[in-house]
Each structure stands twice: as structure tokens, then as C-alpha cells.
Structure 1
Amino acid sequence: MSLFLGKIHYWLFNKILWFENIEECVITLALEEGMDVKNIRNEIESKYGKKLENRNLEEIIDLENIHGWLQNRIHSSEARLAAWIKIILQNDLDAQIKLEKIFQEQGVLAAREAKIEIDYISATDIYNSINNYILDGMPCDRVNVVSVSEENLVSWKRRICVHEEIWSKEGVDVRFFYNLRNIWIKNFVKELNNNFEYLEEPLGEYKILKKN
């Protein structure tokens, strides 16, 4: 490990890689829809940059600007996804169901990957594992505020939204993104430990709760 890089930087790097896996699934959907993927990809990448290179983090990161490099990559990956989703929805009004299926499947795959490491027997375990995958800006953004952290319940609220500007720029309602992500989380939790469930409560409260 580089002397300049810590675990948190590799943690963020892996989250970006997983997000880019979802992007590739969405691009595959665009291809199946008969869209001109090559030209669309070039257009999107000209605006937001390319995916991460298939190299180790220490080989590609700007060591003189670690925070800025990671922040830019997070923004770039989410902006590309928003652009792809906008184009797909414009091309096929029924594509929402297909996009939801992608996020459902990716939530299950992520949970299966996570279960290889440890058994997830508490709400806290599950909440922490969710945050090993989803992107919510940088840790310093402090997006989520946890109010309860117990064995059978974790409850939190979103303090700020770091996604709306990105999705609005592409003309997509950020609520569409949150719906896709909620589908991902619900299926992730179900696959990780079916004794728990993910709930979106009124007034912006979210819970990982053990079933009765």
C-alpha cells in the first residue's frame, strides 16, 4: 500500500468500481435497445470523462490531490450513469422496469459478494455493508445522520442531497435515482439476511429493521 493512501481511499475506490459495474449493465441495456452505444458513449465521455482504468489505485490516482481526484471520479461516474439513463428513457418509455431489474439484480449480486467475507447478523452489520457499496459523495459530506444504532435496528436520515445537481443537469428527477437505489438496497438487505428489511419511512427516515 502506498504511504500516501489509506484504507478509506481504497474503500472509496472500490465503491466507484461497483457503481461503474452498474453503469456497464445500463450500457448493455442500451445496446439491447438498439441504440448507437459507441457514439453515445463518446458523447457522454466527452462531457464527464471515461471510466476508471483497469489498473491499481496507486497507479492512476493523483497523489498530490487524492481527495480531489476521488471526488471528481465519484461525480464523473454518477453523471455518466444519469446521462445513460436519460437517453434510455427517452428512447423507451417502458425502460423504467428494465432499469429497476438491473438495480434489483445488482443488489443481490453485491450481497452475495459481501456474504463471502462475514455473516451479517445485526442491523449495524447490514447498514455498514450497504455503505461499502453505495455512493453518497465523500465521507466529509456527512450525508447520513444515524439516530439509532442497535442490534435489531438502525435508523437514519439524509442530512443533505449530493445527487440532485448531477441528475437535474441531465434532466432526470433525482427521485428516479433514489427509487432505483431503494430497490438496490431492499434486495441487498433481503439477500444478505432475510431476517431484516429495509424501510423508507415518512419524513425522510430510513431503517434497517429485524422482522418480527
Structure 2
Amino acid sequence: MSKFLGKIHYWLFDKIAWFESLEQEIIDWGKGKSDLSMLQWEKEAIEKFGAPVGRVALEDVIDTSNIHGWLQDKINRAELRQAFIITKVIDSPNGENYKEDLKNIYKSQGTEAGAKHKGEYALETPDEIFNVINNYILEGMPCDRVNEVSENTKDVFSWFATTCLHTQYWNQVQGNVSNFYALREEWTRAFVEALSEEYAYEVKDENGHRLNTIYRK
């Protein structure tokens, strides 16, 4: 490990890699649809926002003179590429029909990730599940601290974001950020169900906030 890099930097880089893997799954799926210009959209996304980092060693690619800025830049680019590609799919003539396909991609990856960690943690309380989820989902930089806990008991853990970090990216590509949340909810629900049969996940609107809840069944 580089003397300039800590565990938190590798942890965040892994989250970026996970997000990019979702992007690639969407692209691979879209290339199989004759009515989608996925090759063109992929090329355009890279031209506009830069190429994915890919599966490389962090210490081989990061700018150690600007660690925070480099990681933030990779988050920005990954979010923009994915928002751009998803928006292109949804805005296509068959976009409404393809929403279910996109949800299934997210669900499939959520199930795979949750199953990978099944039995790895004690999971005695629902907040422990949230901590595992947080090893995957991108919610800005750790210093952003956008998630605020609403309830934390032995049976219920709920939280909401004090601000939406994703709207800026979706607005930039003329997309609707509600599509992002709909897809991420599918991933999270599938992840929780695959991780433990004892818990479930739901989202509801509360005073204008998306209240996320993991609860014991």
C-alpha cells in the first residue's frame, strides 16, 4: 500500500469500480438490442465524460498529489456516464418497456453481491446491514456525510439523505433522477434479501425525503 493511500481510499475506489461494473452490464445488455444505439452512446459518453477507470490497481493510476480531487473526479465521471446512458435508453422509442430490463440488471447485481456476503457477518441488528450496503453504493465522498439516521433499534434502521448528490449529474444529461433512485432501490432490496432472510428493505416518502428502512421481518 502506498504511504499516501489509506484503507478509505481503496474502499471508495472499490465502490467506484462496482458502479462502473453496473455501467458495463447496461452497455453489454444494450448492445444486444437492435433498436438501441448503444455503441454510439458508449462512445459519446466516453468522449464527454472520460473512460471508466477499469479494474486496475489504485496506486498505479491515482494522482497521489491530489488524492481527494482524483477520487471525486472519478465519481463525477462515473455518475455522468451512467446517467447519460440510462437516459438514452429510457428516452428511446421503447424506453418505457426497457425500464424493467434495467431494473432486472440492478436486481441481478444486487442479488449477486448480497449472496457473496451471506454468512460473512453476524447481522444481529439492521444497522449492520446498512454498513455492508455502504461498501457498495456511491453517495459522494465520505466527507459529504449526506446520510442521516432517522431510527436505529434492534429491529429497525432507517435513514435519509439530507441532500441529493445525484440530481446535478442527471440534470446535466437532461435526465430524470427519479430513474436513478428507482433502479438503486431495486438493487438495495435484492441485496438485502440475498444477504439475509431475516431482514427486508423498503422506501417511502416522508416530509419530502426518501426514507430508507431496513427492518427485521
- TM-score for both structures, normalised by structure 2: 0.92
**Offset, 1:64:** 0.5
Is contact 1:198–1:207 with CA below 8 Å preserved after alignment?
yes
Is contact 1:120–1:192 with CA below 8 Å preserved after alignment?
no
Q: Which residue in the other structure is 1:191 paired with?
A: 194
1:14-93 equivalent positions in 2, closer than 5 A? 14-34=14-34, 35-91=36-92, 92-93=94-95
Give the AA of the match of 1:87. K
Using the alignment, how far apart are the partners of 1:102 and 1:53 within structure 2? 19
Q: Which residue in the other structure is 1:132 paired with?
A: 135
1:95 aligns with 2:98: yes
Query: Secondary structure of the residue that 1:58 maps to in structure 2?
Result: helix
**Offset, 1:29:** 1.9
Aligned counterpart in structure 2 of residue 113 of structure 1, from 104, 109, 116? 116
Aligned counterpart in structure 2 of residue 209 of structure 1, from 203, 206, 215? 215
**Offset, 1:190:** 0.7
Is contact 2:139–2:146 with CA below 8 Å preserved after alignment?
yes
Give the AA of the match of 1:39. Q
Deviations 1:140-194 (CA, angstroms, capped at 9, x unpaired): 1111011333332212121000000101111221111101111111111111112
Q: Which residue in the other structure is 2:13 paired with?
A: 13
1:126-165 equivalent positions in 2, closer than 5 A? 126-165=129-168
Deviations 1:112-159 (CA, angstroms, capped at 9, x unpaired): 222364343420210001110000111111110113333322121210
Q: Which residue in the other structure is 2:174 paired with?
A: 171
**Offset, 1:60:** 0.3
Using the alignment, how far apart are the partners of 1:87 and 1:38 within structure 2? 12
Query: Secondary structure of the residue that 1:112 maps to in structure 2?
Result: helix
**Offset, 1:201:** 2.8
Q: Do the aligned partners of residues 54 and 206 (structure 1) sit closer, same or farther apart at CA in structure 2, a change above 3 Å counting?
A: closer
Is contact 2:106–2:183 with CA below 8 Å preserved after alignment?
yes
Using the alignment, how far apart are the partners of 2:175 and 2:40 within structure 1? 21
Give the AA of the match of 1:206. N
**Offset, 1:78:** 1.1
Deviations 1:69-126 (CA, angstroms, capped at 9, x unpaired): 0011011111101111111122322110100111111110111222364343420210
Is contact 1:15–1:132 with CA below 8 Å preserved after alignment?
yes
Is contact 1:145–1:157 with CA below 8 Å preserved after alignment?
yes
Using the alignment, how far apart are the partners of 1:71 and 1:157 within structure 2? 22
Using the alignment, how far apart are the partners of 2:202 and 2:91 within structure 1? 30
Query: Secondary structure of the residue that 2:16 maps to in structure 1?
Result: helix
Unaligned runs of 5+ in 2: none
Percent of residue pairs bearing the same amino acid type:
38
Q: Do the aligned partners of residues 2 and 176 (structure 1) sit closer, same or farther apart at CA in structure 2, a change above 3 Å counting?
A: same
